[in-house]
Amino acid sequence: MTIANSIFTGTLGGLILHALYAMLSQNAVLGRGLGSSRMTKLVNDEDGDAGVFCVLLFVVQVLSGALSWLAGQTVLPLLGAARVHLRPLVLVLCISVVFFFLFLVVVRLFPTEAARRVARQLPIAAFNCSVLGTLLLMGNQSYDFLQTLAFSAGSAIGYMLALLMMIEGNRKLKRADLPESFRGLPSTLVYLGILSLLIYAFTGHGLSV
Amino acid sequence: MIDKLRGYYAINRDVLENRDRIFLNNPVVMQGMGLVPIVAVSNTLRDACIMGLAVLLLLTPTRIVAAFLSRSTHFRFRAVAYSVTSALIYALVSWLIVDVFKLPTQAIGLYLPVLVLEPLIIKRYARTGTERMGNATTKGLITTVGFLLVMFLTAACRELLGAGTFFGIRVFANAPVPYLYFLGGGFIFVGVFIALWRNLVQIFKEGAKKA
């Protein structure tokens, strides 16, 4: 009990709570619908590259989160009133820097075939509504550097968990006796909707009928 | 009328299946693009109008400028060209919507800037061949129309059933299906809507085959 108390009242505890907050109640896909177009594609992906996508998404999200925090401290204040309109551009530039860095790392470190596979997933993971949406959310919350990292990591893990649930659900839906027009995207969306309502109820909301 | 359309489809099948982005190859219904603005924002017609204006001003110009820039960009880095172009044009669109037209964007929140990386706007980068400017203009405009059609239809139904209002005017004393107003309800509604649309396309195609 004492150890648990010290964890949840200290800095580490705060960071874990930020990560959990991003993972569950602020889940990018199930709580806000961010990256849902990409997820419906990944769920029906026959190549099995969803794992590579998840790892890349995590790295891109954390690194661009760190860069966007720096940009928020240095570049954005210089833009004055125009920063409302230019913020997405600054954040996209942060993501682009991470994209180029990871591209170089992948080309240098991985053997040719694996590098090709990773490089194919890299733009899909980097230029994603979920990544940009999380960066915008963190900017609105005025987090410090460590909180930014924790929230970024939590958001990426939340996306992964949602994707895992969707892949498993989709596997079962494929075996189910569904009408032809409901197969694929429509059944995936209905399942996503049920999970999203579940998260909504889980965070203490209810319907005012 | 439907028979005439079926006859026209039977004659021009290849061209229509390649170019139509409104009914047969609607980007939302067939490819699942543009789901974020439709599911997360379009629960009222007022918000759908603001989002629709943003897409109208952003999609085609981004596609044209990015098609031009992509000519001298390596295929691997084309995603950067499309994303940065989209973000640059978004700055202008945001200025027009917020400062010039003074439209209320509070309800849309972060979903307006998130449009910058929406697959509907930047997905073309994934295709290997470069796009001609004329083609980019035509396809950009048709894709916009197809997207707006689905967005307004879903927004009208969700507002009516989820909130009991139509463009803010009360129609039902109580909302008939209140959960449609929320994100989860939006996903479910759009899933059913897409299934019905695909069914209609299938019926139309089978009718054209018989004709």
Between the alpha carbon of residue B49 and those of residues B41, B43, B53, B113, B159, the distances in Å are 10, 11, 6, 16, 13
Phi first, then psi, for residue A144 (nearest 5°) are -85, 180
Quick one: CA torsion of B113, B115, B119, B125, rounded to 10 degrees?
A: -70
Q: What is the ipTM of this complex?
A: 0.92
**A63 vs A16: which has the higher pLDDT:** A63
Q: Which chain A residues touch B186 with a CB distance below 8 Å?
A: 33, 193
Q: Which chain B residues touch A137 with a CB distance below 8 Å?
A: 110
- Span A158-171, pLDDT tens digits: 999 999 999 999 88
**pLDDT category of residue A209 using cuts at 50, 70 and 90:** very low
Inform me whether the pLDDT recorded for A157 exceeds 70: yes
- At A26 the pLDDT is 86
What is the Cα–Cα distance from B186 to B73, expressed in whole angstroms? 38
Nearest chain B residue to A137, by CA:
B110
- Span B164-180, pLDDT tens digits: 999 999 999 999 999 89
Q: Can you tell me the mean pLDDT for A29-55?
A: 87
Inform me whether the pLDDT recorded for B12 exceeds 80: no
Q: Tell me which of A59-63, A80-84, A176-180 is least confident.
A: A176-180
Identify residue A162 by its one-letter amino acid code: A
Q: Do B35 and A89 touch (CB under 8 A)?
A: no
What token pair was written down for A166?
Answer: 């969707």
**A114 vs B119: which has the higher pLDDT:** B119
Q: Do B187 and A33 touch (CB under 8 A)?
A: yes
pTM of the model: 0.92
**pLDDT category of residue A70 using cuts at 50, 70 and 90:** very high
Inform me whether the pLDDT recorded for A208 exceeds 70: no
Question: In this complex, which of B184, B190, B195 lies closest to A197 when CB atoms are compared?
Answer: B184
Per-domain residue ranges for chain B? 23-210
